[in-house]
Amino acid sequence: MSEYKNRAVVLKNRPEGEIQEGDLVMEERLVRAPGDGEVVAKVLWLSLDPYMRPRMNDAKGYMDPIGIDEVIVGESVAQIVESRSDKLKVGDLVTCYSGWQEYVTFPADAPMVYRVRPKEGVPLQAYLGVAGMPGRTGYCGLMYVGKPQPGETVVVSAASGPVGTVVGQTAKIEGCRVVGVAGGPEKCRFVVEELGFDACVDYKAGNLKADLKAACPDGIDIYFENVGGAVTRAVAPLLNPGARVPICGYVSAYNAKDMTEVETPFHVLKALDPVPEHRFFLVTEWQDRHQEITDILASRVAGGELKYRETVAEGLENAVEAFKGMLKGKNFGKQLVRVSE
């Protein structure tokens, strides 16, 4: 047993619809002492992401479900506090899939563990947001699935979040006209005035179809899908011949009691004639380019080309409420938890 006291958030009950009291519970968990080749890391920042919600269900998806009494999955920035490996030393900073807990023990050569190379002008937590997994997701989905060309119209849902933020600003760098979809006038102003999108449609304003059509007079060439539901239905008739639709996720359905009854973006898009080019993708498809793309995004943050917002919950004890709020769009930008200093 290690000397460290650890708190962890574990899955006690599989949520039926929205997460309820008692579904996710904070417990004290032992920190295993490291064996040969292993390290102990202290979690500094925890990322909260929509993909975590479907993994709480007892259904096979693109990733295995979280087991009952298991720590909730999640990526963090962590600092090595004990090492029995020559690959990582005490004091090194890494991104790793620690889960929702304060300390974690793992092999130094475990998959998806990367040393953070701090760069001036790039806060550590940015490596969980626009310079991290969400940022790489947006960049890869747009560049390698969407394949933007100068002059094309790109629409991205959840435009003020970390994925949408990177999609839109990358598309502008590629010479595209960019239209965001976000919830509320404050987020829409930010997307246009701070991020530099050409327009942003407020899906909460009640005129989604008409407003989107007005914002896209020449139709839509690339739709980057994060939300699903009403947004996908509004986009579908505006897709131009040859349009591409990278499907990152559809968060509007993640609290559904029965995912098999949800109308997904695939249902909407397959009903069109012609059917646009579309596919679901995972950022791990480009895992071999992890460091290269991280460096591109971090350099853009440092140079002021890539702007973003964050919402920070203080302390692991506030992670569950922050996560529930994020699924309803209450956060502004990337949702993070500051676990420790």
**Domains of the chain in sequence order:** 6-128+310-338 (3.90.180.10), 133-284 (3.40.50.720)
Would you say residue 246 has pLDDT above 90?
A: yes
Would you say residue 224 has pLDDT above 90?
A: yes
Residue the block writes with tokens 């394949």 = 147
Would you say residue 259 has pLDDT above 70?
A: no
pTM above 0.85, yes or no: yes
Could you tell me the two tokens for 80? Answer: 């090595």
Distance CA 194, CA 306 (A): 10
Could you tell me the two tokens for 91? Answer: 């004091």
pLDDT in tens, 199-214: 999 999 999 999 999 9
Would you say residue 86 has pLDDT above 80?
A: yes
Could you tell me the two tokens for 65? Answer: 């479900």
Would you say residue 322 has pLDDT above 80?
A: yes
Task: Name the residue type at position 146.
Answer: G
Q: Looking at residue 329, what is its pLDDT?
A: 86
pLDDT in tens, 292-304: 999 999 999 999 9
Task: Name the residue type at position 71.
Answer: V
Contact 136, 286 (CB under 8 A): yes
Q: Looking at residue 258, what is its pLDDT?
A: 67
Q: Looking at residue 262, what is its pLDDT?
A: 76
Would you say residue 58 has pLDDT above 90?
A: no
Residues forming a β-bridge with 223: 155
Give the residue among 301, 324, 306 at the shortest CA–CA distance from 194. 306
Distance CA 63, CA 287 (A): 16
Distance CA 158, CA 326 (A): 11
Q: Is residue 63 very low, low, confident or very high in pLDDT (cuts 50, 70, 90)?
A: confident
